[in-house]
Amino acid sequence: MRAFQLSTLGQAPAFQDVTLPPPGPGEVRLAIAACGLNFADLLMVDGKYQEKPALPFTMGMELAGRITAVGAGVSGFAPGDRVAVFAGQGGLAAEGNFVANRCLKLPDGMDFRQAAAFQIAYGTSHLALDHKARLQPGETLFVSGAAGGVGLTAVEIGKRMGARVIASVRGPAKMTVATAAGADHVIDSDAPDLRGQLKALGGVDVVYDTIGGPGFLDALRATKPEGRLLAIGFAGGEVPQVPANLLLVKNLSVMGLYWGGYLAFRPEVLTASLATLAGWIAEGALTPHISHSFPLDQVAEAMACLRERRSTGKVIVEMPEAG
């Protein structure tokens, strides 16, 4: 079969012909239906992501499909089961073998496209806002990069948790998207004086920052006493240096979140979060926003769409037999 693989760091991934072995102990084989793309995929190409799989590897961190075979020692799963998998790699191919304990059975109300789109983006936001920041009903949440694949989910989940949400995006089209996701106030990120704008809206209890750079410090200075700041990513390319004296004077907390890291030390927290989210999506309480969908043979264009920030929400790749 063909698989979209990275062979050399810093060079463009390409399709390779690979032979897939039978699933090993503790693994299941999937007929992959859809794969969600993430900013982390772009970082992996340059070797700048936290995880660095051995080369060559098939790209695609999160996926969904139907189980076709199970390896020795697997219980709770059977051929025919529809599952989502956060695999870290292997999603951009027609088939793959994946560790069974990373699989999540899909509720009847969730399709493969939704399942490929929700895990990292929604999982990151739910874990950050619920488990880390303990966001409370009535608090004010500020989300930077709020029209992106992760930021948009923070808007939606923040509203689901009862917060007043302020979203920062670039341009009128993305402002419309953030408003549709539930933002109460939308700020154009190109406008000056972010700190002043946030203070004029009453200040912030929780900051969910995906961009980094000067905007993080502006939001910090507009945060109320006992506020919590979540460092989710640095899509702007600049890692902010936080002045510790401000943390002391205002009793602030700055927290990092590496969602995938929970698989190593507290996987039950991540699994419980995903199960909650899958239930909300199946009930219609959350709706994954998929702005672009590409067939597998156009995966290079899909990655360019992500890199050039043409997407609002999620970019997914669908396999020819997806259904």
pTM: predicted TM-score of the whole model, two decimal places = 0.83
Q: Would you say residue 276 has pLDDT above 70?
A: yes
How far is Cα 174 from Cα 147, in angstroms, rounded to an integer? 6
* Residue with token string 């240096």: 241
Q: In degrees rounded to 5, what are phi and psi of residue 274?
A: -65, -40
pLDDT for 101 equals 87
- Kindly indicate the confidence band of residue 323, based on its pLDDT and cuts at 50, 70 and 90: very low
How far is Cα 155 from Cα 165, in angstroms, rounded to an integer? 6
Selection from 58, 5, 64, 273 nearest residue 161 by Cα = 273
Element (H, E) at 156: helix 151-160
Q: What is the pLDDT of residues 15-25, one digit of tens each?
A: 999 999 999 99
Average pLDDT value for residue range 229-247: 89
Average pLDDT value for residue range 100-112: 90
Give the list of residues 6+ apart from residue 160 with CB closer than 8 angstroms, or none.
280, 285, 286
Average pLDDT value for residue range 260-279: 88
Q: Would you say residue 149 has pLDDT above 90?
A: no
In the structure encoding, which two tokens stand for residue 75, read together?
């219980």
Phi-psi region of 131 (alpha: psi -120 to 50; beta: other; left: phi over 0): alpha
For the chain, what is the mean pLDDT?
Answer: 93
Percent of the chain predicted with pLDDT > 90 = 75
Are 177 and 313 contacting, i.e. CB atoms less than 8 angstroms apart?
yes
Q: Would you say residue 185 has pLDDT above 70?
A: yes
In the structure encoding, which two tokens stand for residue 53, read together?
């799989």
Q: What is the pLDDT of residues 277-305, one digit of tens each?
A: 988 988 888 888 898 999 999 999 999 99
Q: Would you say residue 131 has pLDDT above 90?
A: yes
pLDDT for 233 equals 86
Average pLDDT value for residue range 189-203: 94
Superfamily of domain 2-119+263-318: Medium-chain alcohol dehydrogenases, catalytic domain (3.90.180.10)
**Which overall architecture, per CATH, does domain 136-257 show?**
3-Layer(aba) Sandwich (3.40)
In the structure encoding, which two tokens stand for residue 220, read together?
């910090």
3-state secondary structure of 254: strand
Q: Would you say residue 198 has pLDDT above 60?
A: yes
pLDDT for 275 equals 87
In the structure encoding, which two tokens stand for residue 13, read together?
């991934």
Query: Half-sphere exposure of residue 32, counting CA atoms within 13 Å on the CB side?
Result: 31
Selection from 23, 107, 57 nearest residue 276 by Cα = 107
Residue that wins the pLDDT comparison between 52 and 158: 158
Q: Rg of the Cα trace of the chain?
A: 20
pLDDT for 49 equals 87
How far is Cα 145 from Cα 132, in angstroms, rounded to an integer? 20
- What is the b/e burial string over 157-182, where b = at least 16 CB atoms within 10 angstroms of the residue's CB? bbbbbebbbbbbbeeeebbebbbebb
Are 61 and 86 contacting, i.e. CB atoms less than 8 angstroms apart?
yes
The sign of the dihedral angle between the CA atoms of 183, 253, 264, 268 is negative
How far is Cα 172 from Cα 125, in angstroms, rounded to an integer? 24
Q: Would you say residue 209 has pLDDT above 90?
A: yes
The sign of the dihedral angle between the CA atoms of 110, 294, 289, 36 is positive
pLDDT for 321 equals 63
Instruction: Domain ranges for the chain, please list them.
Output: 2-119+263-318, 136-257
